[in-house]
C-alpha cells in the first residue's frame, strides 16, 4: 500500500462511519415525508426550535440529508396564541391581595411608561385585578376632543400608516400590504345580492366608494400595552353592521407587522361599518396576543376568542331593524369599546379628494387629536 493510501485510510474509515448515521437520517426523513401534515409538523417542530436557538451551524449536518427547518413565520403561527390569550384573560380576572396590588401595578407602570396622573382613579389599590387596571378610565379633561377637524383619533397609540387606498391593497406598515376585501369581507352578504358578487378588485372598491369624485382612505393606529385601552368614535357616523372574524391572535407590534404579510387578515377582528356625511365609514378593532377580548359597548351579542371556530369564517350582525331603521348613531368622541391589553385600530373610509391627513408616519397620537379634515 502506498503512503498516500495509508494516509487516507483514517479519512475513509471516518467517512464510512459518518455514512451510516446519514443513511439512517435519510430513511427517517423518508418516513416523515409519508406522514400526515399535522403529525409531520409535530415531529419537526422540536428540531426547528433547536435550529433557531442553537449556535449557527450546530444542526447543519441535518441539511446534508435533506432536512429543512420550518420557516420562522410558520413556526410562530403554530404557537397556540388563542389558548395562551384565554389563559391570560383568566389570570387577569384573578383578584390580587390588597398588599400585592401596588408592587404589581407599579412594575407595569415602570415597564410600559403609564401616566397614572391621567387616570380617573389614581389609587392603585382601587383596581382589584389586572383587567380592571388595563381598562382604567381617564379624567374627563385628560383628552379634549378636537372640534375643528372632521376625523379624530379614536384612541391613544402610534400611527403606523395612512393615506389613500390604491389597487385594493392597504399598507399595514410601509412596504407590507394586505387585501382590502380579505380584511373587510364582502360588502354585502351574497344571499342579499340580486346578482352574483363581483370578484374583480375595481368592482369591490366601487361597492365602498358610493359617491362620484370621492376616494378611499385608511389609517392604522397601534396601541401599545402602556396606552389607554379604550377606543372612541372618530367622527359623527351611523353604525349599521358588525362583522366578526374569528382568527389567530398574533402580535401586532410594528416589527411583527413587517414580518408577516396580511397579518391583520389572519388575526381576529371586529369590523364596524356604516356611513358618515361623506359616504362609507368603517372602524376595525384587531385582536392580538393576550388581547382576545374585544368589547363593543352597544353590542352585547359579540363574544370574541371562542375556543372553536372555522378558519376563514365570519359572523354578521345588523343593527338596522324594523324598530331602528338607521342603526346606531355615534357622536365624535363617544365611548365605543375597549381592548384587554393593546392592539390595533384600522379606519377605512370614503371622503372627497381634498381630504388631508394631519399626520406623520410613526408619530404618537392621543385620543381626541386630529387625524384629518377637508
Read off the pLDDT of residues 65-117 as tens digits, 9 standing for 90 and up: 444 545 555 656 666 666 776 777 778 788 999 999 999 999 989 998 899 99
Q: Kindly name the residue from 156, 227, 275, 299 that is annotated as catalytic.
A: 156
Instruction: Verify whether residue 343 is a known catalytic residue.
Output: yes
Please pick, among 150, 153, 155, 232, the residue that the annotation labels catalytic.
232
What is the model's pTM? 0.76
Residue 253 is predicted with a pLDDT of 67
Say how far apart CA 93 and CA 289 lie, in whole Å.
17
239-243, 253-257, 271-275: the lowest-pLDDT one = 253-257
pLDDT band, very low/low/confident/very high, at 19 (cuts 50, 70, 90): very low
Confidence of residue 274 (pLDDT cuts 50, 70, 90): very high
Catalytic residue (one of 44, 85, 233, 343): 343
Q: What is the pLDDT of residues 132-159, one digit of tens each?
A: 888 888 998 889 998 888 999 999 999 9
Note the pLDDT of residue 16.
44
Q: Residue 49 pLDDT more than 70?
A: no
In this predicted structure, the answer to whether residue 21 has a pLDDT above a threshold of 70 is no
Which residues, 6 or more positions from 249, have their beta carbon under 8 angstroms from its beta carbon? 81, 82, 84, 85, 267, 268, 287, 288, 289, 290, 291, 292, 305
Which residues make Cβ contacts (< 8 Å) with residue 284, sequence separation at least 6?
Answer: 183, 184, 264, 269, 270, 271, 272, 345, 346, 347, 348
What is d(CA 168, CA 184) in angstroms, rounded to the nearest whole number? 11
Residue 320 clears pLDDT 70, i.e. is over it: yes
Query: For all residues of the chain together, what is the average pLDDT?
Result: 76
pLDDT of residue 374: 81
User: How much is the pLDDT for 43?
Assistant: 47
What is the pLDDT at residue 35? 44
The whole-angstrom separation of Cα 265 and Cα 285 is: 12
For residue 191, the model assigns a pLDDT of 40
Amino acid at each position: 500500500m502506498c503512503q498516500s493510501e495509508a494516509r487516507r485510510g483514517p479519512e475513509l474509515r471516518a467517512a464510512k462511519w459518518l455514512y451510516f448515521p446519514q443513511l439512517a437520517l435519510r430513511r427517517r426523513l423518508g418516513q416523515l415525508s409519508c406522514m400526515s401534515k399535522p403529525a409531520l409538523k409535530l415531529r419537526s417542530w422540536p428540531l426547528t426550535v433547536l435550529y433557531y436557538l442553537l449556535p449557527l451551524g450546530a444542526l447543519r449536518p441535518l441539511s446534508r440529508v435533506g432536512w429543512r427547518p420550518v420557516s420562522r413565520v410558520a413556526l410562530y403561527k403554530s404557537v397556540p396564541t388563542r389558548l395562551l390569550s384565554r389563559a391570560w384573560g383568566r389570570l387577569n380576572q384573578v383578584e390580587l391581595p390588597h398588599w400585592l396590588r401596588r408592587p404589581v401595578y407599579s412594575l407595569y407602570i415602570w415597564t410600559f411608561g403609564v401616566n397614572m396622573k391621567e387616570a380617573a382613579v389614581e389609587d392603585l389599590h382601587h383596581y382589584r385585578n389586572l383587567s380592571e387596571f388595563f381598562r382604567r378610565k381617564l379624567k374627563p379633561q385628560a383628552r379634549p376632543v378636537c372640534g375643528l377637524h372632521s376625523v379624530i383619533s379614536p384612541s391613544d397609540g402610534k400611527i403606523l400608516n395612512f393615506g389613500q387606498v390604491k389597487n385594493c391593497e392597504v399598507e399595514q406598515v410601509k412596504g407590507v400590504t394586505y387585501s382590502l376585501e380579505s380584511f373587510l369581507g364582502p360588502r354585502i352578504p351574497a344571499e342579499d345580492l340580486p346578482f352574483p358578487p363581483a370578484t374583480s378588485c375595481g368592482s369591490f372598491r366601487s361597492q365602498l366608494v358610493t359617491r362620484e369624485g370621492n376616494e378611499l382612505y385608511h389609517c392604522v393606529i397601534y396601541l401599545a400595552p402602556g396606552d389607554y385601552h379604550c377606543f372612541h368614535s372618530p367622527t359623527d357616523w351611523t353604525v349599521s353592521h358588525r362583522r366578526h372574524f374569528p382568527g389567530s391572535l398574533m402580535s401586532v407590534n410594528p416589527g411583527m407587522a413587517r414580518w408577516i404579510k396580511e397579518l391583520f387578515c389572519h388575526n381576529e377582528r371586529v369590523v364596524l361599518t356604516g356611513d358618515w356625511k361623506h359616504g362609507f365609514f368603517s372602524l376595525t378593532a384587531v385582536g392580538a396576543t393576550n388581547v382576545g377580548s374585544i368589547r363593543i359597548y352597544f353590542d352585547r351579542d359579540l363574544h370574541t376568542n371562542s375556543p372553536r371556530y372555522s378558519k376563514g369564517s365570519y359572523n354578521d350582525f345588523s343593527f338596522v331593524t324594523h324598530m331602528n331603521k338607521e342603526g346606531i348613531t355615534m357622536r365624535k368622541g363617544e365611548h365605543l369599546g375597549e381592548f384587554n391589553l393593546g392592539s390595533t385600530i384600522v379606519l377605512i373610509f370614503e371622503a372627497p379628494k381634498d381630504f388631508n391627513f394631519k399626520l406623520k408616519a410613526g408619530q404618537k397620537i392621543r385620543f381626541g387629536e386630529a387625524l384629518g379634515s377637508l
